[in-house]
């Protein structure tokens, strides 16, 4: 695995896609209400996210994209393999890991589906971008 063969623009685009997808996923357009109920916010809803939270979130998305790019860093990588690897990482590792923690936190199945679904979908999109943009 040669880091010099990574496409940094693809990594940035993949990170941005997860960041944008998260904004849409947790917006009123999609799952904001269900997520807030599943998380049990109720009257204790946290204040709006600060610029610092957005910046750290983007950096974490960048780490995820870089990590996935390292796994896909092969000349034989295709769009299909990128999407498949993203699904395997998102569903098999991220969503399942989150669900294990959620079980011990006594979170609902809906909470696991919403948050695990986001991670799975985000990593599929990341993998698709990284597989396509070699």
Write down the domain spans for the chain: 3-132
pLDDT 10s digits, 6-28: 999 999 999 999 999 999 999 99
DSSP 9-71: HHHHHHHHHHHHHHHHHTSTTTTHHHHHHHHT-GGGPPPPPPHHHHHHHHHHHHHHHHHHHHH
pLDDT over threshold 90, residue 45:
no
Residue 117: per-residue pLDDT: 98
Q: Is the pLDDT of residue 134 over 90?
A: no
Confidence of residue 1 (pLDDT cuts 50, 70, 90): low
**pLDDT score of 128:** 98
Burial track 84-104 (b if 16+ CB lie within 10 A, e otherwise): ebbbebbbeebbeebbeebee
Model-level pTM? 0.94
Query: Quick one: what percent of the chain has pLDDT higher than 90?
Result: 88
What average pLDDT does range 108-127 have in this prediction?
A: 98
Write down the mean pLDDT value for the chain.
95
């Amino acid at each position: 695995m040669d880091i010099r063969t990574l496409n940094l623009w693809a990594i940035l685009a993949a990170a941005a896609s997860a960041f944008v997808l998260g904004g849409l996923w947790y917006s009123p357009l999609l799952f904001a209400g269900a997520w807030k109920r599943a998380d049990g916010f109720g009257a204790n809803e946290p204040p709006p996210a600060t610029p610092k939270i957005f910046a750290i979130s983007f950096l974490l998305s960048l780490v995820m994209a870089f990590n996935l790019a390292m796994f896909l860093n092969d000349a034989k990588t295709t769009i299909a393999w990128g999407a498949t690897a993203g699904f395997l990482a998102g569903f098999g590792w991220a969503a399942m890991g989150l669900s294990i923690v959620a079980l011990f936190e006594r979170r609902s199945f809906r909470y696991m589906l919403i948050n695990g679904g986001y991670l799975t979908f985000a990593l599929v999109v990341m993998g698709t971008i990284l597989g396509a943009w070699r």
